[in-house]
Amino acid sequence: MQSFQQRYEILRELGRGASGSVYLAQDLFADQQVALKIAHPQIFAGDDPEQKAIRKAWLNEVRLAGRLRHPYIVEVFDAGMGDATAYLAMEYLPGGTLEPYTRPGQLKPVREVLEIAYKCASALDYACRAGIVHRDIKPANLQYAGPGEVKIGDFGAAYWGRSDSTQVMDIGSLSYMAPELFRHWVTPQADIYALGVVLFQLLTGQLPFVADSPAALMYKILNGERPRLSDLRPDLPSGLDALVEEMLAVSLERRFAAWPLVLAALTALMPDTAGNAGEPPAAAELFERLRRLPLLQELADPQLWELLRFAHWRRAPAGTVLIQEGAAARSCYLLLEGETRVTQRGRLINLLTAGTLFGELAFAEAVPSPRAATVTAMTPVLYGKWAYSRLNRASPELRSGMLKIFFRLAAERLKQADEQYQLLYRRLQAAPG
């Protein structure tokens, strides 16, 4: 207890719950603001079933601290637990939770809701592949981090796929609990169900299941008695109704079997909610397209999300100059759609097609050389741009992965140049005279 009091200076209370209070605090060691969650002392003073369950939840979250590193999971910096207290120092997100945006009159645009759902699904897929089921997905545990941005927190009720005496089986929020959880049957599909409830709320401003008592609510959940999404929002794309139906299916056989299927279904809906035709695609769609590129196969999903968040994505008409010969080199580029030509002193030296990374060689130089060529769009293009300064501040995992990609590309280009020189040499040798 004394050690965390010395490290964290509490500034003000952010919220209070049954198990603890959350404070805005200054981390005096790291010189940053954090959300400091401190358990209520009475949790450790008794042995009734509820107190035991809450203690197990705290132990769960402390033990999971640092295991999950994903751009859409709240980062835990520090955690501790003693005989009479427990604490977690977490990333501070001033935007609050998603709860305000589940109320009529405060609903977010459909496209933003799908972005949020996709990012939650991606983070939960990552946790699932680490063997972890969250089991308490609800708006209060989803932190709003800006338009279309969300982070999942509170893994206290999490279950992971191994025998362990600390597993928490009696904590969760009834309105978001999948039917099988009432029988203590935990699968990743329980989180899919809970996210379906959240999606329903974000789109309609109400819960799918409402009743006057817990028993009546359980009955409705077990029997799937709820209004259809289209009954409440007939203006929504038809595919959304089918998506929510499959996420909230009572039967596991009818519900989505795994997160990749949910991600694919959400991606398929993105074009139906597209805005201005000149805008770049939504982040969810961009992520799926980047993940399919052979060029980026070495990057794990968290690093790919990090790379995507660093990028500035633009559409540009034919004739747009992306790189000017002689200009300072400050960024690298990825051409996702369209074709460009590469010229040097006005002479055509190359053509670039979709899926090509360019402008990256200067990243490895201590002092980047001026651009050696001009890159101009031959057709309408969609491209991403990463500033070298942002890449230099990226996580060690992303920097390492990108350097491997850059060096592999450099080796391939050197090999191609060598083959061209060899071919030219053989032609000159074979030429008469």
- Gap between the Cα atoms of 150 and 144, Å rounded: 5
pLDDT over 60 at 125, yes or no: yes
CATH classification of 99-273, choosing from 2.40.50.100, 1.10.579.10, 3.50.50.100, 1.10.510.10? 1.10.510.10
pLDDT bucket at 61, cuts 50 / 70 / 90:
low
pLDDT at 166: 38
More confident residue, 348 or 270: 348
Q: In Å, what is the CA distance from 227 to each residue of 246, 312, 319?
A: 14, 41, 52
pLDDT over 70 at 172, yes or no: no
Q: In Å, what is the CA distance from 344 to each residue of 1, 84, 203, 236, 375?
A: 65, 70, 52, 51, 9
Q: Kindly give, in sequence order, each residue whose CB lies less than 8 Å from that of residue 137, ignoring residues fewer than 6 positions away.
A: 120, 124, 152, 176, 191, 194, 195, 198
Structure tokens at 304: 């790919």
pLDDT bucket at 50, cuts 50 / 70 / 90:
low
**Sign (positive/negative) of CA torsion 413, 414, 418, 421?**
positive
pLDDT at 110: 93
pLDDT over 90 at 119, yes or no: yes
Q: Kindly give, in sequence order, each residue whose CB lies less than 8 Å from that of residue 90, ignoring residues fewer than 6 positions away.
A: 34, 35, 36, 37, 74, 75, 76, 77, 153
pLDDT over 90 at 432, yes or no: no
pLDDT over 70 at 353, yes or no: yes
Range with lowest mean pLDDT among 1-5, 174-178, 300-304: 1-5
More confident residue, 123 or 424: 123
pLDDT at 375: 96
More confident residue, 45 or 128: 128
The closest alpha carbon to 117, from 179, 195, 42, 204, belongs to 195
pLDDT over 70 at 132, yes or no: yes
pLDDT over 90 at 199, yes or no: yes
Structure tokens at 254: 């009818």
pLDDT at 5: 75
Active centre residues (catalytic)? 136
Q: Which of 260-274, 323-337, 403-417 has the highest mean pLDDT?
A: 323-337
Q: Per CATH, the architecture of 2-91 is what?
A: 2-Layer Sandwich (3.30)
pLDDT at 64: 67
AA letter at 121: A
If one counts every other C-beta atom within 10 angstroms of the C-beta of residue 225, the result is 12
Mean pLDDT rounded to a whole number for the chain = 86
AA letter at 30: A
Task: For 321, list phi and psi in degrees, rounded to 5.
Answer: -85, 115
Structure tokens at 199: 């999606």
- Gap between the Cα atoms of 166 and 191, Å rounded: 20
pLDDT at 157: 60
- Gap between the Cα atoms of 61 and 59, Å rounded: 6
The answer to whether 229 and 204 are in contact (CB under 8 A) is yes
C-alpha dihedral (257, 260, 266, 270), degrees to nearest 10 = -160
pLDDT bucket at 203, cuts 50 / 70 / 90:
very high
C-alpha dihedral (70, 75, 77, 80), degrees to nearest 10 = -110
Q: Per-residue pLDDT tens for 65-107? A: 667 888 899 988 888 776 677 788 889 999 999 999 999 999 9
Q: Which of 145-149, 195-199, 368-372, 405-409 has the highest mean pLDDT?
A: 195-199
Q: At what angle do helices 283-291 and 110-129 cross, to 10 degrees?
A: 40
Domain spans of the chain, in order of start: 2-91, 99-273, 301-423
Q: Per-residue pLDDT tens for 300-324? A: 988 999 999 888 999 999 999 999 9
Task: For 347, list phi and psi in degrees, rounded to 5.
Answer: -100, 135
pLDDT at 253: 94
If one counts every other C-beta atom within 10 angstroms of the C-beta of residue 413, the result is 12
Percent of the chain at pLDDT exceeding 70: 86
What would the mean pLDDT of 375-391 be, rounded to a whole number?
A: 93
pLDDT over 50 at 339, yes or no: yes
Round to the nearest angstrom and report the end-to-end CA distance of the chain.
89
CATH 2.60.120.10 for domain 301-423, yes or no, is: yes
